[in-house]
């Protein structure tokens, strides 16, 4: 199951962290889609072909989702040159940004899972 935000009609995706526990309680793996959660569907213009987004909030949402303790994994879109990506350019992370972010959240994820195996993660 994947949390990726929902829209309420005013051009912004909202992530309700309570949903992570609800999904986890269903017994299926729970994933947080970091980059999709950053989209601003109405910000790309009236054509509806391009979404805007707030890439700078990736660390905030990723840490918040991780802190719930109910995640089994993450999804994120990464591009060598995010601003020139053909899809979701406003929310994709650069390789460097993704690396920094994963180095922040993975140790927290392991800590909350009660594991000391973070040395097995190669980022």
Band (pLDDT 50/70/90 cuts) for residue 8 is: confident
CA dist 78 and 4 (Å) reads 16
Q: pTM for the whole thing? A: 0.86
CA dihedral 81, 93, 54, 3 (to 10 degrees): 140
20-57 pLDDT tens trace: 999 999 999 999 999 999 999 876 655 556 778 999 99
CATH code where residue 56 lies: 3.20.20.70
DSSP 42-109: GGG-TTSS--EE-GGGHHHHHHHHHHTS--SEEE--B-SSGGG-SS-TTTPBPHHHHHHHHHHHHHHH
Q: How many domains does the chain have?
A: 1
CA dist 5 and 85 (Å) reads 21
82-122 pLDDT tens trace: 999 999 999 999 999 999 999 999 999 999 988 766 555 54
Domain that holds residue 28: 2-120
């Amino acid at each position: 199951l994947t949390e990726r935000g929902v829209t309420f009609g005013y051009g912004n995706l909202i992530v309700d962290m309570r949903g992570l526990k609800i999904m986890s309680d269903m017994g299926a793996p729970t994933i947080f889609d970091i980059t999709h959660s950053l989209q601003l569907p109405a910000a790309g213009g009236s054509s509806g072909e391009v979404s805007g987004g707030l890439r700078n909030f990736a660390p905030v949402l990723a840490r918040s989702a991780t802190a719930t303790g109910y995640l089994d994994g993450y999804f994120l879109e990464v591009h060598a040159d995010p601003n020139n990506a053909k899809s979701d350019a406003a929310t994709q992370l650069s390789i460097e940004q993704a690396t920094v972010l994963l180095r922040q959240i993975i140790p927290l994820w392991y800590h909350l899972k009660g594991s000391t195996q973070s040395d097995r993660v190669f980022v």
